Amino acid sequence: MFETLVTVVGYVITEPVVRDTPNGNRVASFRVAATSRRFDRDAEEWVDGARFYATVNCWKRLADGVATALGKGDPVVATGRLRTREYERGGQWSTVVELEANAVGLDLARGAPPAEDVLRQRSVSDRGLVSLPSG
């Protein structure tokens, strides 16, 4: 079976919801929105284009990390398998887009991490990095 692997760059638009499945696995889910941008040469400004929404599902250890590190409004990069699911409610058929994530991270190109103060408190040696002499 061929799977569609994608990477979505966007913003978390719902607080992550964590639940345990009947077989004991943990899953964290949140919605992400990605908006394309383009430069309008006539107006000489950037304008928003089409929006893409998806539910991101994270399992096991990834679910634990998402539950502690992400919140609504955070910029994220999520990669995994893209799927669509159809369901019927009240005679109406709907389609949802879901991303079963392999990896999720803060998009540092779009802003500082929410735990900025915590990161500042950690020394360089705590992270296993070597500081280089200045000059």
End-to-end, the C-alpha distance of the chain in Å comes to 55
CA neighbor of 9 nearest in space, from 97, 110, 112: 110
Res 112: pLDDT: 62
Whether residue 68 is contained in a domain is answered as yes
Q: Find the CATH number of the domain harbouring 61.
A: 2.40.50.140
Structure-block tokens of residue 51: 């929006």
Res 37: pLDDT: 86
Structural domain count, the chain: 1
129 or 91, which is more confident? 91
Q: 65 Cβ partners below 8 Å, 6+ apart?
A: 58, 104
**AA identity, residue 31:** R
Q: pLDDT of 57-100, one tens digit each?
A: 999 999 999 999 999 999 999 999 999 999 999 999 999 999 99
Whether residue 47 is contained in a domain is answered as yes
Whether residue 134 is contained in a domain is answered as no
Q: Give the largest Cα separation in the chain, rounded.
A: 70
Whether residue 8 is contained in a domain is answered as yes
Measure Cα distances from 12 to 17, 33, 75, 84, 89 in Å: 12, 7, 6, 19, 26
Q: What percent of the chain has pLDDT over 70?
A: 81
Whether residue 133 is contained in a domain is answered as no
Q: How confident is the model at residue 126 (pLDDT cuts 50, 70, 90)?
A: very low
Whether residue 63 is contained in a domain is answered as yes
Whether residue 132 is contained in a domain is answered as no
Asked if the model's pLDDT at residue 102 lies above 90, the reply is yes
Domain that holds residue 122: 4-127
